[in-house]
Structure 1
Amino acid sequence: METFKKIVKSYDAIEMKFLIFVMAILVVVTFAQVFTRYVMGAALFWSEELAKYLFVWISWLGVSAGLKEKEHIQVKLLPEALHAKGHLKTEKGLLILIDLLWFITSIVVLYYGFIIVAGQMETGVYGPSTGIPMWINYLCVPVSAVIVCLRLIGGMIVNSYELVCMFRRGGR
């Protein structure tokens, strides 16, 4: 289990550094756009489109980072009630079930994300000002879904391991 946690921790660091890097590029591009438009009187024709693409990628990849930090909107009423009453095994089981439902939803998003990307690849549409193929922008959906699925699998493994340990120790 310790090796697994080290792998996850290494991935977490890579993911966070990548998100910070992309955010830094977004800030620089946006600043350059504002500077050239309002100070120099001429806008960079490609910067707005690139900023939109970067923002979309940050948003979708941020889903995984939010999952890692457990910062997504969720209804905690039942898990907190179970925890307060000392039903820790039931709470862990519920958390595994919630992750499983989210995993199934992510598989659906992955499937339809690939359909959208394939459609964009077939049409050969490019961004009007950047010339970037549109499928690259849409690729963030299935990529994010895969990352979320992997993170959910990891969470389910950890929760299942902890649940098995609870059963071995006995108690509620």
Structure 2
Amino acid sequence: MQLRKKIDRILGRTLAIIMSIMVINVLWQVFTRFIVGSPSSFTDELARYLMIWVGVLGAAYISGKNMHVAIDLIPKKLNQKKQAKLKAFVNAIIILFCFFALVVGGSRLVYITYTLQQHSPALQIPLALVYLVIPISGLLIIFYKVSDILNKK
């Protein structure tokens, strides 16, 4: 549980930093567009990539806090033993999805964009860095769900 709390803290701070950078970036865009009259060329792209990171890492963070959207009609009708089995089954499905879609699929996307040396138009950063958040988030969600299964959360 100590490791989980540490990861929660690091992930929460990372998300707060990314959001802060995103706010400053958008404020800069508004300032350069309406005050200076010459919009900054990189801010739109940076905001887009930061939003991707916030969304995908935020999904992992919320998954770890078990605050994600869920339909709980069926579990409410079951006894506690069956609820625990259902939660373990749902967590196993989530683990499989995250492994195949986010970790494997995301890693392939990172590899392909890295191999093809694709760069963003305005920032000229490798797109592999932008897409790297997908397998990272998948691994984090898998960690959280395995932890939930082991701790019977």
Deviations 1:53-105 (A, max 9, x none): 110011000111111232322221111111xxxx2111111111110000000
SS at match of 2:36: coil
SS at match of 2:125: coil
Q: 1:106 aligns with which of 98, 106, 111?
A: 98
Of all paired residues, the percent bearing the same amino acid is 24
Matched letter for residue 107 of structure 1? F
Q: 1:143 aligns with which of 123, 136, 139?
A: 136
Shift of 1:19: 0.4
Shift of 1:138: 1.1
SS at match of 1:39: helix
Distance in structure 2 (CA, Å) of the matches to 1:134 and 1:116: 10
Point out where structure 2 has 5 or more consecutive residues left out of the alignment: none
Equivalent residue number for residue 20 of structure 2:
24
Distance in structure 2 (CA, Å) of the matches to 1:130 and 1:11: 29
Runs in 1 of length 4+ with deviation above 4 angstroms? none
Distance in structure 2 (CA, Å) of the matches to 1:10 and 1:118: 29
Distance in structure 2 (CA, Å) of the matches to 1:14 and 1:113: 22
CA RMSD of aligned residues (A): 1.1
Q: What's the TM-score once normalised by structure 2's chain length?
A: 0.95
| Structure with larger Rg | 1
Distance in structure 2 (CA, Å) of the matches to 1:11 and 1:129: 32
Equivalent residue number for residue 88 of structure 2:
96
Deviations 1:12-42 (A, max 9, x none): 1111011001100000001101111111101
Is contact 2:98–2:138 with CA below 8 Å preserved after alignment?
Answer: yes
Distance in structure 2 (CA, Å) of the matches to 1:60 and 1:53: 11
Q: 2:112 aligns with which of 119, 136, 153?
A: 119
Equivalent residue number for residue 9 of structure 2:
13
Comparing 65-74 with 40-49, greater Cα deviation is found at 65-74
Distance in structure 1 (CA, Å) of the matches to 2:12 and 2:135: 19
Aligned length: 152
Q: How does 1:36-75 map to 2 (within 5 A)?
A: 36-75=32-71
Deviations 1:123-167 (A, max 9, x none): 1111111011111111111111111111111111111xx7xxxxx
